[in-house]
Amino acid sequence: MNITTFAKRLCLLVPLLLSPAAFAAEMMPSPPQLAAKAYVLMDASSGNVLVENNGDQRLPPASLTKLMTAYIATLEIRRGQIGENDPVTVSENAWRTGGSRMFIKVGSQVTVSDLLHGIIIQSGNDASVALSEHIAGSEDAFADLMNKTVADLGMTNSHFMNPTGLPNPEHYSSAHDMAVLARAIIHEDPAHYAIYSQKEFFWNGIKQPNRNLLLWRDKTVDGLKTGHTEEAGYCMVSSAVRDGMRLIAVVFGTNSEVARAAETQKLLTYGFRFFETQTFYQKGTELAQAPVWKGATSQVKAGLAEDLTMTLPKGQLKKLAASMTMNPQLVAPIAKGDVIGKVEVKLDDKVVHSADLIALDGVEEGGIFRRMWDSIRLFFYGLFN
């Protein structure tokens, strides 16, 4: 595919990372106003924030904290640092932890997998402490690991002091950060994400239900986690999929278990009704070829560094236009992943998003005669261009 053809096709195939307010407001109603301290609605594929109110406000996250605890545990499993069936000896510290519990017994051994289920489904503080001690040796050391992961994920308004979410003045997060974390959980480890959809878990003779009421009310909802303390109010992070589109909804500080489910449902309903998402190309797909000077080959394959995904108000696709430009005079050597061009997306002649085009393969320097010949050509090219 040549560059001209790609540019024409790209007019229909560009990711939109623009606030819905920039589009024709008369075509869709205003977002719902929720009875919550803060909330965010995010598209899971693109990461676009579709609706937000106080999304970056630092608030106590209560048991939403356990999303980070579980995320780190599954990360350690994937890295081979711990195993699903590894036995974990329950310390007295874990056993004595107050609040919601899995009801593990001091001195007993529980597998990593069972503790993970107890954290996600039963919101067990005791399970969270036991698993954090197994991974890092102590709650404090695990908190350090949590905050390193916060930085890795770009969660700029979060800081954790414990793996449970029990109140601490220095323990906080935000609705936007929790959506970022949920997106990582969903995309990075689908196998363990399936745990978040389980409605109940049986342990130590006690069957406890998942506190996410939407798992019973909406068959499209398949996660994630609830939280509650007197200080935080009732909080929830949920995700749902309809017609191939996944949304993440986060609410902080509602006044009841019923309210957090109802307010979350408002966000999800609004998002699915008035927005659409589609992925046209995955990262690494060849979209064009660009000329290379002084190289072992005369062209380099160009593609996008990230998936080409669109999230926008329904019916607004036809208003977008895009163009592609390559960096002038690409000269070998070129390394795989080097930025060699740019895509610009426009709405009414205003650039609303740009994305880098990268080299999909490396191009080594050509032989001496190729380099000499191209040097001569470049000299005359420079004179006339």
* Residues noted as catalytic: 63, 66, 123
Phi, then psi, of 288 in degrees rounded to 5: -165, 175
| Peptide bond between residue 308 and the one before it cis (omega within 30 degrees of 0) | no
Tokens encoding 152 = 């890795």
Tokens encoding 55 = 């999304």
**In degrees to the nearest 10, what's the CA dihedral of 102, 105, 109, 110?**
-10
For residues 295 and 363, the answer to whether their CB atoms sit within 8 Å is yes
